[in-house]
Amino acid sequence: MGSLGVKKEIISELKEKIAKTGFAVITDHRGLTMSELTELRNRLFKNDADYKIAKNTLIKIAIKDTNLAELDSLLEGPTALLLGYGDPSECAKTYVEFTKEIEKGDIRGGLLDGRLLTKQEIKTFAALPSKSVLLGQIAGLLVANTQSIAGTFESLIRDIALLAEEVAKKNSGGK
């Protein structure tokens, strides 16, 4: 396969992956070794994400007329495309934690559900609890509030029962 065929294959693969994502980050992969890239890809894969390195011209062609077209302005210098298919916060967290560990790599910006994100917004997003943790916290609050409400009603019913008993005693003693 010639150079043109390889480029078409890369563009086709990128377009296929882009069609499945709602979260993408443009990163600078300068300084990362092959073993570090492999480790990063493995961690991201566990969080339902891909890390693709390609020439900017190929990425520009792949994102043209897609939900990631706004990322075009961030394509300068050595570029890698982080594509998340699952929980975006877990994907971002994985990347941010890994680059902090190795002290290499950088975020240029990203896109979440059509909204352009800055480097700082992505880092803040990465610090948030995952969707499953948030849902667990909400469920915990609901259970705690339900138990509190049930306890309040139980106490209220007990007080009404005691009051009714006192009234009944008073009424039967008075006859």
pLDDT tens digits for 87-124? 888 899 999 999 999 999 999 999 998 889 999 999 98
Please name which of 121, 41, 63, 136 lies closest in space to residue 89, comparing C-alpha atoms: 121
Q: Where are the domains of the chain?
A: 3-128, 129-175
Q: Give the CA distances from residue 130 to residues 3, 67, 86, 145, in Å, rounded to whole numbers and listed in that order.
A: 41, 23, 11, 22
Q: What is the mean pLDDT of residues 11-17?
A: 90
Q: What is the pTM of this model?
A: 0.71
Separation of alpha carbons 59 and 71, rounded Å: 10
**Least confidently predicted of 35-39, 56-60, 70-74, 156-160:** 156-160
Q: Which CATH superfamily is domain 3-128 in?
A: Ribosomal protein L10, N-terminal RNA-binding domain (3.30.70.1730)
Confidence of residue 137 (pLDDT cuts 50, 70, 90): confident
Query: Any residues with CB less than 8 A from the CB of 104 and at least 6 apart, and which?
Result: 30, 31, 32, 36
Confidence of residue 49 (pLDDT cuts 50, 70, 90): very high
By the 10 Å C-beta count (0-12 exposed, 13-18 middle, 19+ buried), 48 is classed as: middle
Contact call for residues 34 and 66 (beta carbons, < 8 A) = no
By the 10 Å C-beta count (0-12 exposed, 13-18 middle, 19+ buried), 148 is classed as: exposed
